[in-house]
Amino acid sequence: MIRIITDSTCEAPPEVLHHPAVTVIPLSVVFGQEALRDGIEITRDQFWARLPASDPLPTTSQAIPSDFLGYFEDFTAAGDEVIALVLSSKLSGTYSAATIAYESHPGWPVEVIDSTSISVGLGLMVQEAVAMVDAGATRAQIVSRLLAMREHVHIVFVLETLEYLQRGGRIGKAQAMVGTLLKFKPLLGIVDGEVVPLGRVRSKSKALESAQEALLKRVPDRGANARLAFTHAVAAEETRALAARLSAAFDCRTFFVAELGPVIGVHVGPGTIGVAVVGKSAYENA
């Protein structure tokens, strides 16, 4: 069997995250001296209820090598092969932790992949990996597909404010927008694995329109060749409306919507909406 290991920043449909081939490594959110494992010791609802009153802002904790090592040992001892597909190495040390675990036993039937993505972008990649496992693809075929796919996953986030990203220290190239923090709604993307500014507008509705326009320009595929995913932080109604508009624009009837989890939520704050889009024709034949 081929096993897919990912981390808890991955937002994907329940049938993907609970698939027999999938293992999710929990990252942690830290309130003061209390470290809580994402999805195990704190739920999304509990996190979003607690965040607004948190002072100071909670921090996050990456996975460590031992989080991966036990699974690598157990799965390979059972005769399984492993693909560890985790969030961008420019946003977390989780990829480094998985690599250290692998390098403790070089030659294992294990592949560690930096998705250069996060959230629903990572979720689309895990969804693809699971579909290929179910179709009987080899580890080499799945790895090749994922490496090709990661270059074509486009992610856009619309934030209510840059305050959380700035305070959390993960603002990256979006630092240039801080001076307009209170006047504009930031439009951010993940490019080459890091946060970059894509634009700023004065209202949330205009920011969502800009996000839609940007994604339609970047991904020419329509219909069955377009794949969409949406995530949100306490913004379900706005996200449903955006999903309806964008899925119609892409003529894409199949998409998923997920609630943003604590580890990303610490850095972006409530009201955030994220969209990931990938065109299958860009990577399927790579």
Mean pLDDT of the chain: 92
Same domain assignment for residues 11 and 139: yes
Task: Identify the band that residue 56 occupies on the pLDDT scale cut at 50, 70 and 90.
Answer: confident
Cβ proximity of 285 and 231 under 8 Å: no
User: What average pLDDT does the segment 69-90 reach?
Assistant: 97
49-53, 238-242, 270-274 — which is least confidently predicted? Answer: 49-53
H or E, element range at 209? helix 204-218
Same domain assignment for residues 141 and 195: no
- Provide the CATH number for the domain around residue 105: 3.40.50.10170
pLDDT of 173 higher than 50: no
pLDDT of 179 higher than 80: no
Same domain assignment for residues 213 and 89: no
Same domain assignment for residues 195 and 277: yes
Residue 54 forms part of a structural domain: no
Task: Give me the number of domains the chain comprises.
Answer: 2
* pLDDT of amino acid 211: 93
Same domain assignment for residues 160 and 184: yes
pLDDT of 174 higher than 50: no
Residue 111 forms part of a structural domain: yes
Nearest to 132 by CA among 119, 122, 143: 143
Residue 191 forms part of a structural domain: yes
**End residue of a domain, out of 115, 135, 151:** 151
Q: At what angle do helices 65-77 and 94-103 cross, to 10 degrees?
A: 50
**End residue of a domain, out of 132, 151, 170:** 151
Could you check whether the bond before residue 186 is cis, i.e. omega within 30 degrees of 0?
no
Residue 51 forms part of a structural domain: no
Residue 195 forms part of a structural domain: yes
Task: Identify the band that residue 171 occupies on the pLDDT scale cut at 50, 70 and 90.
Answer: very low
pLDDT of 168 higher than 60: no
pTM: 0.93
Cβ proximity of 273 and 257 under 8 Å: no
**End residue of a domain, out of 87, 121, 151:** 151
pLDDT tens track for 126-167: 999 999 999 999 999 999 999 999 999 999 999 988 778 766
What length does the chain have? 286
pLDDT of 273 higher than 90: yes
Same domain assignment for residues 166 and 130: no
Same domain assignment for residues 183 and 137: no
Domain encompassing residue 253: 153-282
User: What average pLDDT does the segment 33-59 reach?
Assistant: 93
Cβ proximity of 230 and 206 under 8 Å: no
Task: Identify the band that residue 6 occupies on the pLDDT scale cut at 50, 70 and 90.
Answer: very high
